[in-house]
Amino acid sequence: MKKIGLLLSSVLLTGALAACGDSSGGGEKALNEKKLVVGVTAGPHEQIVEVAKEVAAKDGLEIELKVFSDYILPNTALSEGDLDANSYQHGPFLDTFNKDHSTNLVTVGKTILNPMGVYSDKYDSVDDLPDGATFGLPNDPTNGARALYILEENGYIKIKEDKRETASIYDIEENPKNLKFIELEAAQIPKQLSEVDAAAINTNFALDAGINPKEDSILLESSNSPYVNYIVVRAENKDDPTIQKFVKAYQSEEVKKFIEEEFQGSVLPSWDE
């Protein structure tokens, strides 16, 4: 009877520990070896993963796409286990999401850069901007800092060293052209371009307005930008072979060729950088 009691206690303890293991945000979710559910946002990310889906199929992996129209739900769905991976965001956005939502989502492979561009209806280069020129930039912290980073990288301003990753217009310590920064709603900047001397515009909003980043920008973000996009998964799945198979399909020559031909420089493959 004593042995039976010990055995029963051991079984109960094992069950309790297993239950405890499921208490942290839904617990570890085992992945299907032959199928992944991947979240994307509509537009270039969806188009590109459609091609990666075809490549993955040749390797015996089925990809089911779920398309989202906002930037929060793909991470929420991934964290809750409704997705196996997503592909739509850059590192700074992910870092902020993890911090704000106490999640543990991680990157597993670079995808693309949607290069932010500087545009002007009045001038052909940033060098031509006069002293005191007005400069529009997105009013959200992530993209505002990104616009300032582009200007600093090209020598037009200098940002305080300890503020570079979270810079705002109040963190500029050198501004030789005395640019007057005007913070605007990112989606509205293309419509307001004529009202300023120059402005920084996100690629998706530029494309929606019929603006070609490669042809129409007077300054374009470089491919070594920290705002490269990634495939993102839950931390416990980062080394999963099925995830690695999807990363391999995405980072294939077929996908790279599609990006280069379809977007003509307005979207850049970034995994070889």
CA distance 260 to 157: 31
Angle between helices 241-250 and 44-58 (to 10 degrees): 120
When pLDDT is cut at 50, 70 and 90, the band that residue 19 belongs to is: very low
Higher model confidence: residue 16 or residue 81? 81
Query: Which backbone phi and psi does 35 adopt, to 5 degrees?
Result: -150, 135
pLDDT tens digit sequence for 166-211:
899 999 999 999 999 999 999 899 999 999 999 999 988 898 899 9
Task: Assign domain 117-220 one CATH number from 3.40.640.10, 3.40.50.720, 3.30.930.10, 3.40.190.10.
Answer: 3.40.190.10
**Given this model, what pLDDT does residue 273 score?**
60
Residue type, 127: D
Domain assignments of the chain as residue spans, ordered by start: 35-114+227-269, 117-220
Whole-prediction pTM: 0.75
pLDDT tens digit sequence for 206-259:
988 999 998 999 999 987 788 999 999 999 999 999 999 999 999 999 999 999
CATH architecture of the region 35-114+227-269? 3-Layer(aba) Sandwich (3.40)
CA distance 11 to 9: 5
CB atoms within 10 A of CB 206: 23
DSSP 23: T
Identical topology for domains 35-114+227-269 and 117-220: yes
When pLDDT is cut at 50, 70 and 90, the band that residue 14 belongs to is: very low
Q: Is 123 exposed, middle or buried (0-12, 13-18, 19+ CB in 10 A)?
A: middle
